[in-house]
Amino acid sequence: MIVISKVSPFVLALVVLVAALGVRAEAGAFLLEPGHWQVISTMRLSASRLKYDGSGRPQPEPLYRKTETSTLIEYGLNRDVTLMLVPTGRHVAMEGPPAAEAWNIGSLDVGARWRVHDFGATVVSFQGLVRVPARSDPAFLPENRGRSELRLGLGRPGLSWLGRDGFADFGMAWVKRNDPWPDEVRADVTLGWWQFPDQLMLMQWFQTYYPTAPGQMHTPSQTKFEASSVSKLAYGWSLQLGSFASIGGVSTRYERGTVIGLWRKF
């Protein structure tokens, strides 16, 4: 069970929702229509026995497992502002020496996305998030430290991929963390298309750098790729199934895993 301290009953209820549904989602550039809600609950299960060294070569490491559940809750306040709330919980385990395991790792991200400019159907938006850490096992503080994030995004609907309706989303983010590696710079690209009327296909690429990491000959980095499908179910629900893996890095862990999600828009 995920334990969160010093939070309201409302936030605790959201964390219970996370535990029940599972989650994580990357917010894009698009905004919701005024008065509309969207909930994307995702569970990511990953494992790693490798770590990229300072030259980018994979090296054996003790087994590291992580289950991360998060819920992206969005509300369209008006045409130009979408509010965001992202409770997250994690279970992590690491082989020794020393071995460690923790269940009660959680955090809460709060923020908003603002429309900056429209040109045609393309939207440019700016997003700000602040992470409020909750109770965490000392062995896994890096998973849960407070941080702030600023993201500039560009979303383009109405595209055609292989003759099918689709969209593209591009983002650049800067993250300031309470961590020995305090700065994180991230780029992400999402391509989506409707393979069938009730099935959305997603391909996502994430590139992360840690430019101010001390004592590193080469800038630590990680490159990830994710592919998934989102299939419409009944009553406005959709099911996401996919997988992800690291495809390169420097001084960071190799990761691969599975993503399972539930989407609901109303």
pLDDT digits 0-9 by tens, 201-240: 999 999 999 999 988 889 999 999 999 999 999 888 999 9
Q: What is the pLDDT of residue 23?
A: 35
The answer to the question of residue 1 being in a domain is: no
The total number of structural domains that make up the chain: 1
Domain that holds residue 70: 9-265
The answer to the question of residue 57 being in a domain is: yes
Q: Nearest Cα to 236, choosing from 259, 260, 261, 263?
A: 263
| Distances from the Cα of 217 to the Cα of 51, 54, 174, 185, angstroms | 16, 7, 22, 18
The answer to the question of residue 204 being in a domain is: yes
The answer to the question of residue 206 being in a domain is: yes
pLDDT digits 0-9 by tens, 71-121: 999 999 999 999 999 998 888 888 877 788 887 667 889 999 999 999 888
Write the CATH number for 132.
2.40.160.40
The answer to the question of residue 152 being in a domain is: yes
pTM as predicted: 0.83
Preceding peptide of 180 cis, ω within 30°: no
The answer to the question of residue 2 being in a domain is: no
